[in-house]
Structure formats: structure tokens, C-alpha cells
Amino acid sequence: MPAPPKTLKPPTARKLTGNRAEDLARIFLQGKGLEFCDSNFQSKTGEIDLIMKDQDMLVFVEVRYRAALEHGTPVATVTAGKQRKLIRTASFFLQQQFGDRWPACRFDVVGISGDLGNAPQIEWIPSAFY
């Protein structure tokens, strides 16, 4: 007897908020001249929120959102452990897409705080870590 088809669960409020923050980051970066390539790339090692292109440079973007800043900025939440996870995931992406001939790349962080629907604060850190 075949297994019943999986039903899709509606996105949680947290997921919807994350998607909105990623959309704002993408639009912001496109306004700065970056070209959108992909979003939400997933592998067993993790997820990359946005993959953009800045001229010949491939840019892996981590988007962080916090409504309020009393516990620190969104950018401050990208810990050394999170950076290692992003690097492993990006390495998987590069190997999958480019084999042994990787393009130049960097890791950016976009921190967004405040009300997503009403002039949120956006902080962009190009080449945030290596």
C-alpha cells in the first residue's frame, strides 16, 4: 500500500517574517547594484538565505532580523559557529555548481531591525567574514 501524500504545512509566523526580511534584503542589495541569483539554498549542512552577484563576485548573504535591539543587533547574532556553517554550505554549493573552478566569492551579512512594514533599519556588511 503506498504511503499517503505529504501535505504542505502553512508557513509559521516566524517563517513569514523571515521571508519578508529576506525580500527586503534582496531589494536593498539590488538597489546597491547586486544581481539576484538564488535564495534559500539548502543542503544537509545548512541554508544560505540569498546568493547574489556583485560584478564577477559571487556573494553569499546571511539575513538576520530582530524587531527590537535590547538584546543586541541582528548582525551580532552571526556567531563564529554560524559562520562555519555558512562556509560549509557555500562550499557545497560551489562544488555542486562549479566543480573545482570556483569563482571569487564573499560572505555578506544584512541585519534588519524594527517594523518590517514601516521603514525598518537595514545594516549591510560586505565581506563580513571569510
Confirm whether 114 is domain-assigned. yes
User: What is the model's pLDDT at position 1?
Assistant: 61
Q: How far apart are CA 78 and CA 64, in angstroms?
A: 8
pLDDT of residue 17: 87
* pLDDT (mean) for 38-63: 96
Q: What is the mean pLDDT of the chain?
A: 92
Residue 103: band (very low, low, confident or very high) from pLDDT cuts 50, 70, 90: very high
Instruction: Give the confidence band of 21 by pLDDT, cuts at 50, 70, 90.
Output: very high
- pLDDT bracket for residue 18 (50, 70, 90): confident
What pLDDT shows up at residue 81?
A: 95
123 lies in some domain: yes
CB crowding 18-57: b at 16 or more within 10 Å, else e = beebbebbbebbeeeebeeeebebeeebbebbbbbebeee
What is the CATH number for 78? Answer: 3.40.1350.10
Bridge partners of 107, per DSSP, are 60, 129
For cell 555548481, the residue is: 97
Number of compact structural domains in the chain: 1
| pLDDT of amino acid 3 | 67
| DSSP string computed for 106-130 | EEEEEEEES-TTS--EEEEEEEEE-
Tell me: pLDDT of 130 over 70. Answer: yes
99-119 in b/e form (b: 16+ CB < 10 A) is eeeeeebbbbbbbbbeebeee
Residue range 74-102: average pLDDT? 95
Whether 25 is in a domain gets the answer yes
Q: What is the rounded distance in angstroms from the CA atom of residue 49 to the CA atom of residue 86?
A: 10
99 assigned to some structural domain = yes
Is residue 88 assigned to a domain?
Answer: yes
Cell numbers at residue 113, please? 531591525
The answer to whether the pTM exceeds 0.95 is no
Asked if residue 116 is part of any domain, the answer here is: yes
3 occurs within a structural domain: no
**52-80 pLDDT, tens per residue?**
999 999 999 999 999 888 888 999 999 99
Range of the domain at 101: 13-129
Q: Is 6 a member of any domain?
A: no
